[in-house]
Structure 1
């Protein structure tokens, strides 16, 4: 779905408290989460503008977001 938010709280509601805690107390998690949020916002804005970039570029951005999401998930699981 175009323009859908993929925030960590939307993606992993079961880790709600842990996400907030790590965002406050773990600098690496916070920095990675900010990069993920920035990437998600950029993708969402591009989608809502009918993707004024090449499909391959959009695919790469979505891939980068997925890599960050995987890293964040691994950090959440390690700290659960």
Structure 2
């Protein structure tokens, strides 16, 4: 069976032992989100303490959201949505910093 993408998730075929559908979570690390900024990401991580903290927090949130979704752990939708909103906010802030860094601002 093929994979069907639904709202950021991909659903594969039945699981090997249970026959249940297996959810494959799309990964959101910055290197995949902004491949054109790889050098700038590395540069800002070392040059800007603020960017470094935001980078770490973004990846910590990403790992936690992916873990909750992959393991289908009991957590209310409000909690996951707030984590995702925080992750988007961090990504937006870091993107602005990357663009400014690229322009030499």
TM-score by length of 1: 0.93
CA shift for structure 1 position 51 = 4.2
For the 8 Å contact 1:9–1:16, the answer to whether it is kept is yes
The structure, 1 or 2, with the larger RCO (C-alpha pairs under 8 Å, 6+ apart) is 1
Gaps of 5+ in 2: 1-8, 10-23
Larger Rg: 2
Instruction: Give the aligned length.
Output: 80
CA RMSD in angstroms, aligned pairs only: 1.0
Moved beyond 2 Å, runs of 4+: none
- Which ranges in structure 1 are unaligned for 5 or more consecutive residues? none
Secondary structure of 2:25's partner? coil
What is the distance in 1 between the residues matched to 2:34 and 2:98?
9
Secondary structure at 1:6's aligned position in 2?
coil
Between Structure 1 and Structure 2, the one with more strand by share is: 2
TM-score, length-scaled by structure 2: 0.72
